[in-house]
Chains A and B, each alone.
Chain A
Amino acid sequence: MDPILKVEDLAISFGNNNVLKNVNFELYDNEILGIIGPNGAGKTVLLNILTGTLKPTSGRVTFMGKDILGVRIDERARLGFGRTFQVPRSFENMTAYENVMASAICGGQTTQREAAKRAEEILEFIGLEDKALVLAGSLKLLDKKRLEIGIALAPHPKVLMFDEVAGGLTESEISNILDIVKSLKIHGYSIIWIEHVIQTMLNGTDRVLLLADGYDIICDLPQIVLDSNEVEKVYLGVRKK
């Protein structure tokens, strides 16, 4: 089966800072691919390249058989890329309901009526229905993270990309997010899920990729990656230079 998303020889530098040197991976249909890596490994940079806000120095990104590096940011959203932001970027002076509606309208090109229906479904799904009419700016962190997922989900994207949706949350809040991600898999979504550490995603992902030093160091089943020497080296500081 062809992957839905394929990343080849991806590299990006900012001046002398070679953040990504050569990154390769594939995302398959209805797969949840976890990506872990230490602070500054370039996980967010990778998402920014995929969604078009950063241009790579070299490499290829193929989405459903099509090279998309030349495609505009907004077109990629309409092609089927949905993402969350590590630091939530919901529209603060709009209600949670309007946030989801706006995303459905822009990314999904729906009518207002369809968007309203979609927003109600989604808010219920992410457990935010009782805060639907609260301004996004006054939501607390867990709710903001949930809303990020809701916004990303609104246009029925083909690929969902989560950037540390569990970051900064408590244990029970994380399990709440985990439930959401798991049921998204049941709904058929393909997901790239970034977290700082692997433990969070151990039983929520199909495969996990370790990103460090600019390379895709290892990509395998979550338990195998957890037990690997590579993870040991990267996270316990015995990093080879």
Chain B
Amino acid sequence: MSIIEAKLNGIASQTGKVKIIVAAIILIIMGTLPFWGSGYMTNVFLLIFLYMSIGMMWNLLSGYAGLTSLGQQAFIGIGGYSVAVLTQVYGLSLIWGFAVGSVVGVVFALVISMPIFKMNGAYFTIGTWIIAEALYIFFVKWEFVNYGIGYPITAAYGIPMWGLYLASFIVGIGSIVIVTLLLKSRLGLTLMAMRDDSGAAEVRGVKLYRTKLICYLIAAFWVTITGCLLFLNQAYIVPSSAFTIDWTIACVFIVIIGGIGTIEGPIVGAVIYVFLRQILYGFPGISNIILGIIAIIIIIVAPKGIMGYLNNKFNLDIFSIRRRIKR
């Protein structure tokens, strides 16, 4: 028994080492991409990291906290506009755009949480969408943000491609780190319990409101930061691009096909989504329809998404979230 256990522990610590080495290799390759890859590849992976970030946060909300939002574009828009207004109108440096944006994003989340957290299920979903839509209309009519005309973000031209890439890389990897640490923490078991059965979790003593709010604020913060980068990359912002529901639809696609309620899901989903978008670029009219069909096929074949399927089938635990018994 003890020999077997010792061997098992040996294997476990070996896979631990292998994981660290593989992760390090991937991080080094990805982190240095702009210095050896083509400009096209750099741009594709920049997008992958940004979409990974918003997908990861949407997954935290919908996959764990039971908060299915269709209004994440509100935070992307707030991020984008913070950068645009502070650099264009006030001539401040970019860092101010990020700082002010993230504060505004979190405060906005806190304020709207009061009414929308009173709503459940579909009402919450619709509520978030209506608020994002209202924000769009408000921006179109708001002189301070130059109405529907928007702004060019000239500060973006001052950033080298590798700089923007590295920032996106950090935000993308950062989203994985945030969610992983959250799930490994004490709160993580609470989140997983909520994911599986929130009613039973409450009976076990989970403070649903508080836990949901924590997730909502974390997501608001990180999505706003991601929004800053998404619009630095576009170098132009108008309300219709800032507050379009397309952002959240992308999140839904990424999380559903990748695997909701898993960490790996949004990573795989983002890679697939961005590559598909590149391929479908030539078919602007029907690209959403094709994405929809692909999503439906994957849902039928693997209802828990690609990683949900693989995790179950091979009993994977890539990010070592499972609690192990220490002896």
Q: Contacts of A106 on B, CB cut-off 8 Å?
A: 189-190, 193, 201, 204-206
User: Does A222 reach chain B (CB closer than 8 Å)?
Assistant: no
Residues of chain B from 303 to 327 with CB closer than 8 A to chain A in the complex: 322-326
What CA separation (Å) do A90 and B199 show in the bound complex?
Answer: 11
| Contact indicator A89/B208 (Cβ below 8 Å) | no
**Residues of A in contact, count (CB < 8 Å):** 36
Most chain A beta-carbon contacts within 10 A, residue among B197, B199, B202, B326? B202
Q: Contacts of A151 on B, CB cut-off 8 Å?
A: 204
Chain A window 96-137, contacts with chain B (Cβ cutoff 8 Å), 1 for yes, 0 for no: 011101110111110110011000100000000000110000
| Contact indicator B192/A74 (Cβ below 8 Å) | no
| Contact indicator B200/A85 (Cβ below 8 Å) | yes
User: Does B66 reach chain A (CB closer than 8 Å)?
Assistant: no
What CA separation (Å) do A51 and B324 show in the bound complex?
Answer: 31
| Contact indicator A89/B189 (Cβ below 8 Å) | no
| Contact indicator A77/B323 (Cβ below 8 Å) | no
| Contact indicator B192/A102 (Cβ below 8 Å) | yes
Interface size class of B (residues with CB under 8 A): 20 to 34
Q: Contacts of B199 on A, CB cut-off 8 Å?
A: 53, 89
A91 in contact with B205 given A98-B322, A98-B323, A133-B325 (CB within 8 Å): no
Residues of chain A from 70 to 107 with CB closer than 8 A to chain B in the complex: 73-74, 77-78, 83, 85, 89-95, 97-99, 101-103, 105-107
What CA separation (Å) do A155 and B205 show in the bound complex?
Answer: 9
What residue of chain A has the Cβ atom nearest to residue B197's Cβ? A89
| Contact indicator A91/B203 (Cβ below 8 Å) | no
Kindly identify which residue among B185, B207, B325 contacts A116, using a CB–CB cutoff of 8 Å: B325
Chain B window 187-228, contacts with chain A (Cβ cutoff 8 Å), 1 for yes, 0 for no: 001101101110111111111100000000000000000000
A94 in contact with B203 given A74-B208, A112-B186 (CB within 8 Å): no
Q: Contacts of A133 on B, CB cut-off 8 Å?
A: 322, 324-325
| Contact indicator A102/B190 (Cβ below 8 Å) | yes
Chain B window 151-182, contacts with chain A (Cβ cutoff 8 Å), 1 for yes, 0 for no: 00000000000000000000000000000000
What CA separation (Å) do A109 and B208 show in the bound complex?
Answer: 15
A31 to chain B, nearest CB (A): 23
| Contact indicator A74/B207 (Cβ below 8 Å) | yes
A195 to chain B, nearest CB (A): 20
Q: Contacts of B197 on A, CB cut-off 8 Å?
A: 89, 91-92
| Contact indicator A74/B261 (Cβ below 8 Å) | no
Kindly identify which residue among A53, A95, A111 contacts B203, using a CB–CB cutoff of 8 Å: A53
Residues of B within 8 A of A (CB): 185-186, 189-190, 192-193, 195-197, 199-208, 261, 322-326
Would you give 14 A-B contacts (Cβ < 8 Å), ordered by A?
Answer: A74-B207, A89-B199, A94-B193, A94-B196, A95-B322, A98-B192, A98-B322, A102-B204, A105-B186, A106-B189, A106-B190, A106-B204, A106-B205, A109-B205
